[in-house]
Amino acid sequence: MSIVHRHVTTPRLDQKILDTGGKGAPVAFIHGNISTGEFFSDLLLKLPPPYRGIAPDLRGFGDTEPKPIDATRGVDDFVDDLHSLFETLENMAGQRVVLCGWSVGGAVALRYAMKHPERVAGLVLEAPMSPFGFGGTRDSVGTPCFSDFAGSGAGTASPPFVERLTQKDRSSDSDFSPRKIVRSFFVHANNQISVEEEDRLVDEILKTRTGPAHYPGDTQNSPNWPSVSPGVSGMNNAISPKYLNLSAFASIQPKPNVLWIRGKDDQIVSDSSLFCFGFLGKLGIIPGWPGDDVFPPQPMVSQTRKLLDQYRENGGRYEEVVFPDCGHSPHLEKPVLFKEKLLTFLSELGF
């Protein structure tokens, strides 16, 4: 199967996509934070002909028109962009689609299913972020640690990393360089990708737009630990629990089948995430941590499982698959196994 890299102008924006084309059953791959649709290119090439693979760049990422992100809508800017794309693409208007969302893309996929359940044939959640946002919540149902959602939003992004991202730094001389983030967190130590692949992915990461309207967003001070709370624009504010709560997914009708795939050693989306201020405070990395009673590590995986259990209790179906020796990117780290699970899921859908 071949891929066409092209731009599609929709009523909302000019969106860059990877597209295998044709009239096959559509499978859309939705990337996560500081990444692009290009992260799925190898997987798209391996999709068999009955399927049409589509991998867009979300706004603020890759080569899509960098319109600002309204964080007060949660991830709805991305969801509405996707829906407009599907309605614009040839052989796609009105069709049901399988959504495969990775990391933040998992939240986008869940939210799309909440807004357009009749259009979703199935959901693949790959290392999905918590349905209750990233940071600042304390239990399996997403209760905020503080009423202003301190500990989430743009202020939690690492300033040295944002600076290197803005400067298009391709080096590996700092723990804050984008290349080191790929090596340390995107893939498990046992699954290091080739130099050529790493170069390609770093190039894509460096297309991320930075600033108040994009990554990480505008910052807001807080009287609560750790002294930052969500602003109103940009990526990291959009995924704050102040604006993102997907608990209503459990009640959607109709209920598409869900495949949840994650790496056992994921350090980004985890109940002990090295990107969670609660866990970093507990480790003593961020000073002044008020303790487990006030600000425990966010139980990200437990929150997803709680929501999907509720989904099952309401009549839905889901399967959780955990890849050993795998980090945040199962489709990159275990491509053969990931493809096998994906194609089995698609076949069982009769899609």
pLDDT of amino acid 257: 98
Give dist(CA 59, CA 53) in Å, integer.
19
pLDDT of amino acid 93: 87
Closest CA to 298 of 152, 153, 154: 152
pLDDT tens for residues 71-85? Answer: 999 999 999 999 999
pLDDT of amino acid 133: 98
151 pLDDT tier (thresholds 50, 70, 90): very high
Backbone angles phi, psi at 249, to 5 degrees: -55, -35
Give dist(CA 127, CA 324) in Å, integer.
13
193 pLDDT tier (thresholds 50, 70, 90): confident
Q: Residue 189 pLDDT > 90, yes or no?
A: no
pLDDT of amino acid 132: 98
Closest CA to 113 of 309, 257, 267: 257
Tokens for 65, please give them: 């028109």
Full set of structural domains in the chain with CATH: 4-144+243-349 (3.40.50.1820)
Least confident of 62-66, 91-95, 135-139: 91-95
191 pLDDT tier (thresholds 50, 70, 90): confident
pLDDT tens for residues 280-313? Answer: 999 999 999 999 999 999 999 999 999 999 999 9
pLDDT tens for residues 106-148? Answer: 999 999 999 999 999 999 999 999 999 999 999 999 999 999 9
For the chain, percent of residues with pLDDT exceeding 90: 93
Torsion of CA 340, 346, 349, 351, to 10 degrees: -150
